[in-house]
Structure 1
Amino acid sequence: MVSYLTILEEGHSEQVIDKSRFIALVFPVKSTQEVALNLEKARQLYPNARHYVYAYRLHEGNLERSADDGEPQGTGGRPVLDVLQFRELWDVLVVVVRYFGGILLGTGGLTRAYGGTARQLLDQTEVSKLIPHAVYEVEASYDWYEPLKYQFRQNNWLTGNEEFSETVRIEVFIPWVDRHHFVEWLAEFTGNQIICQAKDSVLRAESLGPRL
């Protein structure tokens, strides 16, 4: 598992260039099916536009696609995809809707307009880093509950569900790269007096704010 950058919420931005209205929309997506659904959503939100240019990157399979939707080849989708690549964003779809204003922009003008509109939107969009974590369930006697929780806080190891019965069970999220260190540390710290079981692996988001 590897970390990567993405966005977690939808957003939009727009600008007018030589009387043409350019509206950029960003969507978090995980599959080509979600891409198709959000493309249709963009068409419904902004009906009767001249063009619905888009680009997306999916982390699974390292899939990248762009489309000019009737604009001259390479003047719409490619500049939008360039912005996503430059910012190293994955699992993101950007659609730029154009309402034609009657003035031809030329290939250079179109490239700047589509790329610039996408860039303007992503300048104000919060970026998150998805970091792989191993999930462990730690089972211990009640005497160990406070010492363990204190150590987890000191090491910035996040905890999840807790169950209290004859023993205490605590769910702990450990960064993937630290997982072997955690198991070794836990055995040494407790003198092998507790049970530790690997349960799962997940991606947890860390907000980085807008990433210019």
Structure 2
Amino acid sequence: MKKKNEAPFEEKVTLYTTLAGRGEAEIIERKSRFIGHAKRVTTEKEAIEFINEIRSKHSQATHNVYAYMVKENNIQRYSDDNEPQGTAGIPTLDVIRKSGFTDAVIVVTRYFGGILLGAGGLVRAYSAAAKAAVDEARIVTYEQYTEFTFTVNYSDYQKLQYDFPTFGIIVDSCDFGADVTLHLAIKDVRYGEYCKKLSEMTGGKLIPEKIGNRFDYK
């Protein structure tokens, strides 16, 4: 597997743009099929696993071109997979770079249709297939979230839940027993504000327990 490092990108500590999930799209260019596959990943290992998955699925394809960017260790790599140099891997990587997202891998599978496209045609086709797959996967902005938990009685729960949309809270789980135990996540920048709101609504009785942090989007 050919690998090539490119210039590092700017690291963002509390905010970054990536893909919501996985996407696939196909275009036809002068009888050649170009199938774009895009996926969010968080490590180089995940990117390589995805590339190998697509290669295995499309083992009869003429080319499986790839590109990925991973925030961890500022990694950027691509492969032309025997297409003419500069016509496939770099255009695919440029879809990621120019769209401003990271933690993503794109594989573009080509089934040759018998007509040569030329350098310009290849660049356009690989770029278009990669972009179409990204559109299917959806670009989203991930922010740093605080994970926390607390237990309340049913009366307080009924009041508190109405504020969840206002604060952009993600409900990870609700356990209904004698009381209600909630596991929630909120943007870091709003955690202090929400803790104050909880205190005001419960007369100072409720102090949430902070569990950790993660990147997420809503």
Say whether 1:39 aligns with 2:51: yes
Counterpart position of 1:210: none
CA contact (8 A) 1:79 1:111 kept: yes
Any stretches of 5+ residues in structure 2 without a counterpart?
1-12
Q: Return the match for 2:102 from 90, 113, 134.
A: 90
Q: Return the match for 1:137 from 149, 155, 161.
A: 149
Deviation at 1:15, TM superposition (A): 2.4
Any stretches of 5+ residues in structure 1 without a counterpart?
207-212
Q: Which AA in structure 2 matches 1:77?
A: G
Say whether 1:177 aligns with 2:182: no
| Aligned-partner Cα distance in 1 for 2:96–2:34 | 18
Tell me the matched-pair count.
206
Q: SS of 1:42's equivalent?
A: helix
Counterpart position of 1:147: 159
Deviation at 1:54, TM superposition (A): 0.8
Q: Which AA in structure 2 matches 1:7?
A: L
1:132-182 CA-partner distances (Å, limit 9, x unpaired): 221222244555333333344554434343446676533232211111222
Compare 136-145 and 115-124 and name the one that shifted more.
136-145
Counterpart position of 1:127: 139
Counterpart position of 2:65: 53
Q: Return the match for 1:101 from 110, 113, 116.
A: 113
Deviation at 1:24, TM superposition (A): 1.5
The change in CA–CA distance for 1:170 and 1:116 in structure 2 (over 3 A counts) is closer
Matches for 1:150-161 after TM superposition, within 5 Å = 150-161=162-173
Deviation at 1:56, TM superposition (A): 1.0
Matches for 1:72-91 after TM superposition, within 5 Å = 72-91=84-103
Q: SS of 2:116's equivalent?
A: coil
CA contact (8 A) 2:145 2:185 kept: yes
The change in CA–CA distance for 1:142 and 1:195 in structure 2 (over 3 A counts) is farther
CA contact (8 A) 2:198 2:207 kept: no
